[in-house]
Amino acid sequence: MAKVLVVTSGKGGVGKTTSTAALGAALAQQGQKVVVVDFDVGLRNLDLIMGAERRVVFDLINVAQGVAKLSQALIRDKRLESLWLLPASQTRDKDALTDEGVRDIIADLRTKFDWVICDSPAGIERGATLAMRYADEAVIVANPEVSSVRDADRIVGMLDSKTVKAEKGEQLKKHVLITRYDTGRAARGEMLNIDDILEILAIPLLGIIPESQDVLKASNVGSPVTLNNAASMPAKAYIEAARRLTGETVAMVVPSEQRKGFMGRLLGRRAA
C-alpha cells in the first residue's frame, strides 16, 4: 500500500527540500521504492539537491498536461536503484498545475511506488495546497525559532482542513521534524527547546536534525545528506526518522554537540 507524504512548513528556508531528499534516500536505502516529487513550480531545487539537475528533460507540468508520459519524466537516481525524482518545471508559472492534474499523477505514482514524497513550496498559496492535497501523512519541518513555529502551526490548520483526507473526515497523520537544532544553545535557554516546540504544536516528533556543516556539504555536491555521509550526525538523525516513518519504534536521541573546551566555547560564542 503506497503512502503519499508531504514535506511542508509554511516558512521558507527551514529545510523542506533537504529533508525530502534525505528522507527519500534513507527510505530507498531501507529497500523501499521511493519517488520524490518537486512541487515548487518555477523555483525547482530538488533536482539540484539530488544532483540530477542536468538530467531533467520533462517535468511535472509536462506530465500533468499530457505532453509527456510519467515514465519519460521520472529520473532514476544514479546511486540508488529504488530512488526516483519527478522534477518541477523551472519555466512555467505555478498556475499551470491543476487539482485534477495533480490528482491523476499522484494516483499513477501510487501504483508504482511504496512512497510518494511531495516537496512543498514555501507559503500557503496554491502550490503548497496542491502539494498537500492528496497526502496520507505530513512531515512539518520547523526550526527552533518563533516565526517557523508559528508558520508550522498555520500549516497544521491547513492540513486539517484543505486536504482530501481531512475533507473526508479522516485523520491525516502529522509529524514534526525539527531541523537546525543546536542542543547547546537550547540548553542555555538561547533557543526554543524540543519540549517547548512539541508542547506548542502538539504534534508527535519524527526526529531532531542537528545544525551541521554536513548538510551544506551534501547540497554542494548534489547528494542527499544520508547518502553523502551516512555516518554524520544529521544523516543518522534522518535515517532514524525514516525508520520511524515505516512504523519502527526508534528511541529518540537528542543530538549532542561535540564537547568544546572552555576556550573553544568562549571563542565559539563570539562567532555565534
Q: 75 or 201, CB closer to another protein? A: 201
Q: Does the footprint of another protein cover residue 82 (CB under 8 A)?
A: no
Would you count residue 188 as binding another protein (CB under 8 A)? Answer: yes
3-state per-residue secondary structure call for the chain:
CCEEEEEECCCCCCCHHHHHHHHHHHHHHCCCCEEEEECCCCCCCHHHHCCCHHHCCCCHHHHHCCCCCHHHHCEECCCCCCEEEECCCCCCCHHHCCHHHHHHHHHHHHHHCCEEEEECCCCCCHHHHHHHHCCCEEEEEECCCHHHHHHHHHHHHHHCCCCHHHHCCCCCEEEEEEEEECHHHHHCCCCCCHHHHHHHHCCCEEEEEECCHHHHHHHHHCCCHHHHCCCCHHHHHHHHHHHHHCCCCCCCCCCCCCCCCHHHHHHHHHHC
Binding mask 126-145 for another protein (x = CB under 8 A): -------------------x
Q: How far is the CB of 269 from another protein (least distance, A)?
A: 6
Which of 6, 201 has the CB closer to another protein? 201
- Does 200 bind another protein (CB under 8 A)? Our answer is yes
CB closer to another protein, 77 vs 211: 211
Q: Which of 57, 67, 253, 266 binds another protein (CB under 8 A)?
A: 266
Rounded to 10°, the helix 233-245/213-221 angle is 80
154 binds another protein (CB under 8 A): yes
Least separation in angstroms between residue 197's CB and another protein is: 9
- Which CB, 53 or 153, lies closer to another protein? 153
**Does residue number 196 form part of the binding site for another protein (CB under 8 A)?**
yes
Residue number, 82 or 148, with CB nearest to another protein: 148
Pick the stretch among 24-32, 82-90, 152-160, 248-256 that binds another protein (CB under 8 A). 152-160
Q: At what angle do helices 146-159 and 126-133 cross, to 10 degrees?
A: 60
Interacting span for another protein (CB under 8 A) from 44-52, 67-75, 220-228, 263-271: 263-271
Question: Looking at beta carbons only, is 74 or 156 nearer to another protein?
Answer: 156
Interacting residues with another protein (CB under 8 A): 145-146, 149-150, 153-154, 157, 186, 188-193, 196, 200, 266, 269-270
